[in-house]
Amino acid sequence: MRKARTLLLALPLLVVVSVCVSAAHAAIDYEYFYDPQTGIFTEVYDPLSWGAPSWVSGNMRVPNCARPEPWEKTVGVTVGYVGGTAPDAPEGMVWVVSEGSGTPVLMSEWALKYDLSGYELWSGRCYLPDQPPSETIDFGEAGYRTGVPLANGFTVDGLYVSSECTPEPATLSLLAVGIGTLLLRKRRQ
């Protein structure tokens, strides 16, 4: 009988934990591929159909979901380069501007994902503290949009842009404190 009672008490805890774990997962807002040779955006993933990115004054504008909760946004860019001499990481070249704050954030954490003589694939990301209704990505050179060779002789073969939202750590901490309090109260009864 005692084991059955313990199981019944544990069931609500399992439900709460499963809800917390599902809330902690990132929510992907969009994923798009851009081919500068054709000028076409291809949707990879856009569950709520916020609309394809577009080029405005030489910068890529990406519409997305503005979440009311305190979430952080990660914007990712992957660039494929063809020809030319091996470029350095695109450090210092790509900026992301949140429509909410208007403050430019430098795309960082660049990593060379693939290197085969004459073709390189670089991937970078940045974090935005707010949840804007759109982001503007400034690539610095027109070749990212038009497919003309860049200053280093490389041509952009394609761009892949994505965004995902994750709950802010403070929100998750507050949730954990609430669950801990409930457990402590249950244990004392």
Q: Taking residues 148-176, report their average pLDDT.
A: 76
d(CA 168, CA 48) in angstroms, rounded, equals 22
| Digit-coded pLDDT (tens) for 14-24 | 444 444 444 44
Domains and CATH numbers, the chain: 25-168 (2.60.120)
Q: Residue 138: enclosing H or E segment and its boundaries?
A: strand 134-138
DSSP string covering 56-106:
ETTEEEEE----SS-EEEEEEEEEEEESSSPP---TTT-EEEETTT--EEE
Residue 26 has pLDDT above 50, yes or no: yes
Mean pLDDT within 49-59: 79
Q: Which of 53-62, 91-100, 180-189 has the lowest mean pLDDT?
A: 180-189
pTM here is 0.69
